Chain A
Amino acid sequence: MNSSVNHPATVETGRLLSPPGFDVEAIRRDFPILHQQINGYPLAYLDSAASTQRPIQVIDAISRYYTHDHANVHRGVHTLSHRATDIYEGARESVRSFINARSTREIVFTRGTTEAINLVAATLGQRLTAGDEILISAMEHHSNIVPWQMLCERKGTILRVAPINDQGELLFDEFEKLLGKRTRLVAITHVSNALGSVNPVREIIASAHAHGIPVLIDGAQAIAHQSVDVQALDCDFYAFSSHKMCGPTGIGALYGREALLETLPPYQGGGDMILTVSFSGTTYNELPYRLEAGTPHIAGAAGLGAAVDYLRQVGMDNIASHEAELLTYASNALSALPGLQLVGTAAHKAGVVSFNVDGIHPHDVGTVLDQHGVAIRAGHHCAMPVMERFGIPGTARASFAFYNTRAEIDQMIDALRLAIRMFA
């Protein structure tokens, strides 16, 4: 039974009330990196929005691949090549099933979210002309801003930005007003990495589709924290990174609706993306290979496949429920500290708390917390326009994953109390 509501606070401080069947201590045993001392304190890793950690199952899958199964994919007649291809394509099927895409033809492996968005900007962008518009929001990560700005420089397209309110929520009416005759794509984040706001992506997609406009969702911060169903969302593209979902760095995926992917020109040229090459002309391979030039990150796919299997085993509803509880606990504890302001107080939030403390720069907060074993991020979180919107240079940000506990949040709060005393 996976209840998505918060459980009543009937447990003592420092212990987690978990959804039934969810054993956070058992989960933590799967993550070797979590069991170490940092500066004399147990590590409290509260920086999963930057990158999650990996369970041993993922590390083993990568090690097993290199130890027993490595060869190039889609090429060899020999056994190892078949095994490597099976592992690589098996991971594609795992990802397809994880996000409920119709076909593995819709799953393009990339280096990560950033490359996935750049792929769309480069290919779909190729057919845009001066005056065409791309609509994003004011809470985007740089990776969903800069590729479009570069497209604007190349093509004379125009970047429109839907505003957010003081809580960090998209102003939906303003967003709708910006959907126009020249809008060619909406590119918007599912969850804000800097504020934690969860966007109403279903409504956004429905509204854009009513105008015949395709929608790209930046799913980097959502994919490991709630179940994602691209058919239910009805999105046209969904981009995400393996390293933010317990998989290895250097790989990610772009989901693309097949009918739309079919119309895209090739992204990069090279091996694997072709059927035949001669100096008189080249024929391109079918989807998704047409969009994956060169030898891919096979070991990365092996790890990503294992990560997806792991997340499914834990259960996305369990994960969402556990993280919602951590978010509530952390938000309440932080708000009770003197001189602390939360930045990003949307009604619908994921497990991210950005905050500032009066008289203490986020960078100093980060250093003091690190000296107490607590890993958070300090700075602009690759979302400088968001910081500008709130008139601040940056924030301290704690972000949660399903392996975090209340005890780790308590450790952060204790260190923050000390920082406040120190800088007061």
Chain B
Amino acid sequence: MSGSATSLTDLYRQTVLSHSRHPHNRRRPQVYDLEAEGHNALCGDKIHVYLRLQDDVLADVAYEASGCAISLASASMMSDAVTGKTVEATRQSIDDFLTGLSSPQTGKLEGELAALGGVRDYPSRIRCATLPWQALCAALDAVQETVTTE
């Protein structure tokens, strides 16, 4: 059982709260090459990810989303983290993030994403953090149907 006050500020760190209040790249772009939707049936979180490719690089990563602070912050940080990366490097980032959340021993959350580490102590909230990344993965795979974290 987690101690309440410290653990709560560990989940909702300032970086997380700041991204959730003002999510970066939250928009529907005019032009995009790939897209995918993600849906968490448990809490109703929804995200639609749009990607624009320039050669093999993610030139623009945007999304429309409605959801909790954790999912919005995760989407915002994700868009910052992978914009400008190659598809291959992005896939590596997705892997690193998902591993970093599920197994803190072997994985590591890079840069700002470390602020989402508090989610590990809240099993019911991990899916909130992973949803945008799964939608990103689905977009790269050009999977058209809605992915779900259920």
Contacts and interface: CB of A to CB of B under 8 A. Distances in A.
A363 B17 contact: no
Interface residues of A, number: 23
Contact of B69 (A371, A373, A423): A423
B17 A361 contact: no
A41 B8 CA distance: 14
Nearest to B9: A422
A291 interface: no
B7 interface: yes
A371 B68 contact: no
Interface string A40-51: 110000000000
B125 interface: yes
A422 B4 contact: no
B44 A367 contact: no
A336 to B, nearest CB: 24
Contact of B122 (A361, A362, A367, A387): A367
Given A361-B68, A422-B12, A39 B43 contact: no
Interface string B115-135: 000000010010010000000
A393 B4 contact: no
Given A39-B2, A367-B122, A423-B17, A393 B8 contact: no
A122 interface: no
A196 B128 CA distance: 28
A364 B122 CA distance: 12
Contacts of A423: 12, 17, 21, 69
Given A361-B67, A361-B68, A423-B69, A371 B44 contact: no
Contact of A372 (B1, B2, B4): B4
A393 B44 contact: yes
B12 to A, nearest CB: 6
A367 B42 contact: no
Interface string B26-68: 0000000000000000111110000000000000000000111
Interface string A152-173: 0000000000000000000000
A380 B45 CA distance: 11
B69 A39 contact: no
Contact of B43 (A40, A372, A378): A378
Contact of A371 (B7, B21, B43): B7
B43 A379 contact: yes
A394 B43 CA distance: 7
Interface in A12-70: 38-41
A361 B42 contact: no
B138 interface: no
A363 B3 contact: no
18 contacts: A38-B1, A39-B4, A39-B7, A40-B4, A360-B69, A361-B68, A362-B43, A362-B68, A363-B43, A363-B128, A364-B68, A368-B8, A378-B43, A387-B44, A394-B44, A422-B12, A423-B12, A423-B17
Given A39-B3, A393-B45, 10 more contacts: A39-B2, A39-B4, A363-B45, A364-B12, A364-B70, A367-B11, A368-B8, A387-B44, A423-B17, A423-B21
Q: Can you list the 4 inter-chain pairs with the closest CB atoms, starting with the nearest?
A: A361-B68, A363-B68, A393-B44, A39-B4
